[in-house]
Amino acid sequence: MLAFRFDPRPALLAACAAWLLISPIEARANDSMAVLAAGGIRLTRTDAISMKSEDLYVSVKKVRVRYLFHHETPQPVTALMAFPMPLIPINNLDENIGLPDSPPDPVNLMDFKVWADGRPITPQVQVRALVNGLDKTAILKKYAIPLSDQGGDPEAFEKHLTSLPPAARAELQRNKLVSYWKNPYTGGLSANYRWDLEVIFHWNQPFPKGRDVTITHEYRPIAGSFFYAQPEEPWVHKTYCTDRAFRNAAARRLRTKGENALLMASTVHYILTTANNWAGSIGRFHLTLDKGKPQNLLSTCWEGLRKTSPTRFEFSARNFVPKGELKMLVLQDSWE
């Protein structure tokens, strides 16, 4: 089997890390939840592999993508493939991020899964703690501080930080990982901690000579949320291209709910344009947006969608080259 002559792992993981630093974390009003935009898998840049098709399904609860890759050259190759999660803020402050309350895995917060030709893959995982893009992982590990506080006891987490010796606390504070202060209510020491969790799943994917390879992955998106009312705020229309029919339908729904009524808005963003590392365009691209329930309202700036069921809207194209990101807004009576 012919593998790439250079070791692509450091380059790809560094590139993924750089992409993570600029991936959008879009916060709104105080009573809103930020949306963390993710995307699909990415591979080392190569002209040996083309994408024959991509089927993308997006809903508030699940993103699922099925790729069909074609190997262009007469010899087998192996490519490093990766899925970078968006940067996850780890802190005991109110960041308005809609993370799961009790995740089964404190690292795989999006429940990422991947298959090759129908067989499950167990990818390797790179996990780092970043402060302003700088790797502080070693410092946290030095003092036995978990990189993620998700799914644990927040009081125990803070107690561990405050029980560290003075030299350790000074190093953590100097590196902007933790700030310590005297609590005026208890008279004891309290701690605020804050860093970004970077998680990149990666694996070496063989592409045999003369055979296509199907890669499928799915994850739970970290959806944004806010309360929707009218008159609609300008950024809502600018981001999700709400038209007159959408606003009229929302107005009717609000009137039935009574005075000062609100609708629950959920948003999902999917990054399409940053992973074009294969040869040429996408041979066949198919997109499905699912609003969940027939009574829910959906708006997006994506053009060319057609309604195919009470909840689904679809788009198909050949020789497709993504030119923008997908941003979807769903209005519903309550968050589920």
Alpha helices by DSSP H, listed for 54-180, are 137-142, 154-162, 166-174
Residue type, 310: P
Flag whether 107 is in a domain: yes
**269 vs 37: CA distance, rounded Å:** 5
14 contacts: CB under 8 Å, gap ≥ 6: none
Q: In a structure prediction context, what are the per-residue pLDDT tens digits for the chain, which is 336 residues long?
A: 222 222 334 434 444 443 333 333 333 333 434 445 566 666 566 677 888 999 999 999 999 999 998 887 888 888 888 888 878 888 876 555 566 666 677 788 788 999 999 999 999 888 899 999 999 999 999 999 999 887 667 788 899 999 999 999 999 999 999 999 998 888 899 999 999 988 888 888 898 887 899 999 999 888 888 999 999 999 999 999 999 999 999 999 999 988 888 999 999 988 887 656 676 788 999 999 999 999 999 999 999 999 999 999 999 999 998 888 899 999 999 876
What pTM does this model have?
Answer: 0.79
Q: Do the domain assignments include residue 166?
A: no
> DSSP character for 299?
E
Q: Is residue 188 part of a domain?
A: no
Partners of residue 228 on adjacent β-strands: 263
The pLDDT value recorded for residue 45 is: 66
62 closest CA partner among 225, 272, 281, 223: 223
Parent domain of 34: 8-128+199-332
Q: How far apart are CA 50 and CA 321, in angstroms?
A: 13
Please report whether residue 156 resides in a domain: no
In DSSP notation, 205-274 reads: EEE-TT--EEEEEEE--B-EEEEE-SSPPHHHHHHH---HHHHHHHHHHHHHH-TT--EEEEEEEEE-GG
CATH number of the domain enclosing 58: 2.60.40.3680
pLDDT at 169 (0 to 100): 96
Q: Which residues fall within 8 angstroms of residue 81, CB to CB, at 6 or more apart?
A: 41, 42, 43, 202, 203, 204, 205, 215
Asked whether 243 and 34 are in contact (CB, 8 A), the reply is: no
For residue 1, tell me if it sits in a domain: no
Decide if 37 is inside a domain. yes
283: Cα separation from own chain's centroid: 25
**Number of independent structural domains in the chain:** 1
- DSSP for 16-42 reads HHHHHHHS-EE--STT-BBEE-EE--E
**Distances 303 to 27, 223, 253 between C-alpha atoms, Å:** 25, 22, 25
Residue 111 lies in a domain: yes
Output the six-digit token pair for 201.
Answer: 């799943």
Amino acid identity for residue 3 in this structure = A
**Residue at 151 is within a domain:** no
Distance of alpha carbon 3 from alpha carbon 261, whole angstroms: 60
Query: Exposure of 116 by Cβ count < 10 A (0-12 exposed, 13-18 middle, 19+ buried)?
Result: middle
Q: How high is the pLDDT of residue 222?
A: 83
